[in-house]
């Protein structure tokens, strides 16, 4: 629960000694680095297999067409990573955050990718990093291609 605002603080979260204790941290450290992540609003989703989708090019680095930081972890990601965004329905309120899906092209070649973001307002779309496109040997200027995806249950 937020009870006060730290005006002028840049990327700083003030926490009570009780919070430090819950994380088993020594308050004499003064500050620690942490990552803020979005917790799923829905903890469950049905595992999907061979779901037809349109794969688009998505930029996950700061300043690229993917928008702001990734919804799952509040971070930007390198375009050299195997990362994707999913349409809101498949994103399942964040329940797929950090999960690995398998994207398969029409020739049955597959690539595993980590879900890091939501594509709000997108239908049947997997937004993939340019690294994924390169590994499928696809030219990103195509803009979109038909693929299938599946949840990996591990």
HEC profile for the chain? CCCCCCCCCCCCCCCCHHHHHHCCCCHHHCCCCCCCCCCCCCCCCCCCCCEEEEEEECCCCCCCCCCCCCCCCCCCCCCCCCEEEEEHHHHHHHCCCCCEEEEECCCCCEEEEEEEEEECCCCCEEEECHHHHHHCCCCHHHCEEEEEEEECCC
Q: Domains in the chain and their CATH numbers?
A: 51-151 (2.40.40.10)
Which pLDDT value is given to residue 4?
52
154 residues of the chain, pLDDT tens digit each: 444 555 556 556 666 766 666 566 777 777 776 655 444 444 567 888 999 999 999 999 998 866 789 999 999 999 999 999 999 999 999 999 999 999 999 999 999 999 999 998 889 999 999 999 999 999 999 999 999 999 996 5
pLDDT tens column, 92-105:
999 999 999 999 99
């Amino acid at each position: 629960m937020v009870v006060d605002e730290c005006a002028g603080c840049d990327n700083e979260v003030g926490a009570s000694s009780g919070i430090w204790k819950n994380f088993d941290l020594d308050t004499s450290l003064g500050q620690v680095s942490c990552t803020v992540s979005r917790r799923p609003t829905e903890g469950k989703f049905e595992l999907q297999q061979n779901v037809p989708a349109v794969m688009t090019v998505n930029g996950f680095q700061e300043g690229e067409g993917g928008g702001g930081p990734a919804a799952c972890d509040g971070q930007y990601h390198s375009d050299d990573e195997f990362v994707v965004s999913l349409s809101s329905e498949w994103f399942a309120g964040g329940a797929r955050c950090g999960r690995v899906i398998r994207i398969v092209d029409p020739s049955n070649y597959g690539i595993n990718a980590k879900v890091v973001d939501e594509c709000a307002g997108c239908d049947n779309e997997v937004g993939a990093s340019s690294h994924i496109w390169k590994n499928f040997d696809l030219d990103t200027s195509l803009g979109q291609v038909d693929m299938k995806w599946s949840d990996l249950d591990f």
